[in-house]
Structure 1
């Protein structure tokens, strides 16, 4: 079984109540609005570009993996939410500050995947790392999102 970590990429709905942080932040910042960070922004995630999960799924169809084993699907690259805002600003050529608010109950502080099993059993190596995936995602949103209120 593959366990996915913070998958992101083009075509994610930034307006759903279940939306991930990356599409929400991109939409806000494209509209020159501050992204909302719950907590101090030092919480971190192992953001995984969707192309990597596709690759892992294809490899999993051909893998000789022991039954019942759980394999983390990620990049093994830690990024804080403050760093995410900084990277989006760099890519967009902006300097938008986030709006900090109280942490949400139940949110985990850090999510960082060990991908050794993914490498061992599937022969997986990440192809698209965070910054490149973020650039590709922002380019897609720039093409499809017209400026509108967040």
Structure 2
């Protein structure tokens, strides 16, 4: 029988090593920016709850855990790369739209403006993440096309 016990130090080591990975760093930045946005909106005069930031943070945490614990390799029925691309494109669009709307529409309260600026930065980080995921999809397709051509010639 296999030993399936895992200690908390194993998860801590996985966490530390995944943060050094570029994808892990981007996901951690997304989570941190969403948390800062929520704090800024909570401290504003109007006490706005940003559902965009909450949703973005929850989805980034889910994907961080999936990739950190390598669940994407265990559950292969889900196309994790395409799901991640869909998530990042939607979140980037929502953050950019929300930040521009709040910068144009509302008066310049300090926490409100800070939340709007961080929301724009988060939109750009999500857009960069979408770009890196699309490059990953493109390289995977090129590799599979090359392999198909090689198999056809043999």
Normalised by the length of structure 1, the TM-score is: 0.32
Q: Which of these two proteins has the greater Rg computed from alpha carbons? A: 2
- If each structure's helix is expressed as a fraction of its own residues, which one has the higher value? 2
- If each structure's strand is expressed as a fraction of its own residues, which one has the higher value? 1
| RCO higher in structure (CA 8 A, sep ≥6) | 1
